[in-house]
Amino acid sequence: MTSQPGPKPIYVLNGPNLNLLGSREPEVYGRDTLKDVETACVDRAKALGKTIIFRQTNAEGQLVDWLHEARDKACAVVLNAGAYTHTSIALHDAIKSLEIPVIETHLSNPASREPFRHVSTISAVAKGVISGFGLTSYVLAVEAAARLAADPAS
């Protein structure tokens, strides 16, 4: 398959349990649904002249495949890997294979939660990390992604 013409989109990739956003532990993750998050990302990207590919999966290998796809097809990746953030060497290796920036993103602030969430296997290979602002974490991540895509030194 040939690659898409025109400017490349920002991939926003979501991992396990994020399909339940809005009803899952709302005291931690808020009442916004994943659809609300998608809309906020699309709106922010549009204002910045960018487009979004927004996806969610509960499968680690699917995230790996989408990261591989992003190597050619995306200008940047916003990644909320959910609990795989704390366990996945496969995601670490996949991110390492990308030349485009990957922004690790979380709704909550894992550093203020249980000790097992204090470890991230992906932070070391991410361009940066945005956590703790709920839906706004994604909006800030899309903004960072758009800026980095326009100017990798920004």
Of 11, 84, 106, 138, which residue is the catalytic one? 106
Of 11, 29, 84, 138, which residue is the catalytic one? 29
**Closest distance between ligand DQA and the C-beta of residue 75, in Å?**
23
At position 19, the amino acid (one-letter code) is N
In total, the chain counts a number of residues equal to 154
86 is catalytic: no
- Footprint on this chain of ligand DQA (rule: CB under 6 A): 17, 80, 82-83, 85, 106-108, 110, 117
Rounded Cα gap, residues 77 and 12, in angstroms: 6
106 is catalytic: yes
Please say which residue, 56 or 85, places its beta carbon nearer to ligand DQA: 85
3 state SS of 24: coil
**Spatial strand order in the sheet of 76-80:** 52-56, 10-14, 76-80, 102-106, 128-131
**Closest distance between ligand DQA and the C-beta of residue 52, in Å?**
18
Catalytic residue positions, numbered: 29, 106
